[in-house]
Amino acid sequence: MKKMSRAALVGAAAVSSVVLVSAPAFAHVSVQPEGAAAKGGYAVIDFKVPNERDDAATTKLEVSFPTDHPLASVMPEPVPGWKVEVTKSKLDKPLEMHGEKLTEAVSKVTWTATGSGADKGVRPGYFQKFPVSVGQLPTDADQLVFKALQTYDDKEVVRWIEPQQKGQEEPENPAPTLTLSAAADDEHGASGAAASDDHEKAATASSSDTSSDSDTTARVLGIVGIVVGVAGVAFGVLAGRRRTNG
């Protein structure tokens, strides 16, 4: 029994040590969409920055945007306590957006903490989200890889820049990767046609209802007219008889 107890304690210690060692691997900078990030569309994506240090705060985040699939529109959402700077670079090949050619695109977005003391940056045990509206997303890619640099107030810089290789384990410092979903139906495609058909059916039904209401109104007015006419004739007959009798 003593041997079994010792073995159990050793096993438990080994498991707990593995958990403690592997825990930091999950606390890396990541990117996730708010809703769906469909190919060819627009999306709001959140860069999630956890603080994996016990004695330092994260005070700066630099995110490099992909150059192989540049995004024409990149608009950060203001984050209280942080200053944001957007850097643009010239493109080797101009982008076309809404009928206009763009010769430059956002290549980096930098967030810097502006607070002071204990309220500055992402403190130990906390995380911060940095939302960005992006588009149009590429149609010829299944994912977008961003490279991020996380700076602490003790000047330490963690480089989250290693792309995930297919079929291999997650790297020690993985780069934030955004997975793109299938393209949504075009507004002029099948769904748009269905909506148009429904609209036409509704319009036809409305027209039929209006026509039916008009017919009903005409019939009522006709009946009222006949009744009034009969009453008028009767009144005339009575009036004539009174004159004759008088």
> Residues 78-112: pLDDT tens digits?
999 999 999 999 988 887 777 788 899 999 999 99
pLDDT at position 180, please? 97
Average pLDDT rounded to a whole number, residues 200-219: 47
User: What Å distances lie between residue 78 and 65, 113, 136, CA to CA?
Assistant: 18, 12, 21
Q: Report the alpha-carbon distance of residue 79 to residue 184 in Å, rounded.
A: 30
Percentage of the residues of the chain whose pLDDT score is greater than 90: 51
**Token reading at 244:** 């004759």
The whole-model pTM stands at 0.65
| pLDDT for residue 156 is more than 70 | yes
**Token reading at 231:** 């009453």
| pLDDT for residue 218 is more than 80 | no
pLDDT at position 223, please? 55
